[in-house]
Amino acid sequence: MTRLLLFTNDYPYRTGDAVFVEKEIGSLLERFDEIVVFCHARDTSAGMGDLPDRVRYGGNLFEPAPEDAPRRLLEWGPVGLLLTAAWHELRTGRLFRHPVLFAMGAKVGITQAHRSAVRDAIRSGDDVVAYGFWSMGGGLAVPWLRGVRARVIRVHRYDLYEENAPGGYLPFRPFLFRRTDRVLAISDDGARYLRRKYSDARGKIAVSRLGVFGPAEIAEHPRGETVTIVSCSAVSDIKRVDRILAAVRLMAESGEGREVRWVHFGDGPLMHDLRGASLNAPNGLSIDLRGRVDNSEVLDFYADQRADLFVNLSSSEGVPVSIMEAIAHDIPVVATGVGGTPEIVGDSLGTGRLVDADASVQETAEAMEAVLDAADGTYAPRALWKREYDAMVTGAHAAELVRGAGR
**Confidence (pLDDT) at 255:** 66
Q: Is the dihedral of CA 128, 59, 402, 153 positive or negative?
A: negative
pLDDT in tens, 298-326: 999 999 999 999 999 999 998 999 999 99
CA distance 125 to 360: 56
Nearest to 235 by CA among 305, 312, 296, 318: 312
Per-residue pLDDT at 161 exceeds 80: yes
Least confident of 97-111, 249-263, 393-407: 249-263
The mean pLDDT value for 180-202 works out to: 94
pLDDT tops 80 at residue 257:
no
% of the chain at pLDDT higher than 90 = 85
Taking CB atoms within 8 Å and a gap of at least 24, the contacts of 238-243 are 238/314, 238/315, 238/316, 239/266, 239/268, 239/312, 239/313, 239/314, 240/313, 240/314, 240/315, 241/266, 241/270, 241/274, 241/313, 242/270, 242/273, 242/274, 242/277, 243/313, 243/361, 243/364
Span 269-280, average pLDDT: 95
Same fold, 2-211+391-403 and 226-388: yes
pLDDT tens-digit series, residues 47-78: 999 999 999 999 999 999 888 777 666 676 78
Q: What share of the chain has pLDDT > 70, as a percent?
A: 98
User: In CATH, what number does 226-388 get?
Assistant: 3.40.50.2000
Q: Say how far apart CA 93 and CA 140 lie, in whole Å.
A: 21
Confidence tier at 190 by pLDDT (50, 70, 90): very high
Mean pLDDT, rounded, for 187-198: 94
How high is the pLDDT of residue 143?
97
pLDDT at position 72, please? 61
> CA of 286: how far to CAs of 191, 283, 342, in Å?
41, 8, 30
pLDDT in tens, 341-394: 999 999 999 999 999 999 999 999 999 999 999 998 899 999 999 999 999 999
Domain ranges of the chain: 2-211+391-403, 226-388
pLDDT over 90 (residue 219) = no
Mean predicted confidence (pLDDT) in 115-128: 94
The pLDDT value recorded for residue 73 is 62
Q: Looking at residue 407, what is its pLDDT?
A: 78
- On whether the 2-211+391-403 domain is CATH 3.40.50.2000, my answer is yes
The answer to whether residue 201 scores a pLDDT higher than 70 is: yes
Mean model confidence pLDDT for the chain:
94
* C-alpha–C-alpha distance, residues 2 and 375, integer Å: 53
Residue 194 in this model has a pLDDT that exceeds 90: yes
Question: DSSP for 61-118?
Answer: TTS--GGG-HHHH--HHHHHHHHHHHHHHHHTTHHHH-HHHHHHHHHHHHHHHH-HHH
Residue 131 pLDDT:
98
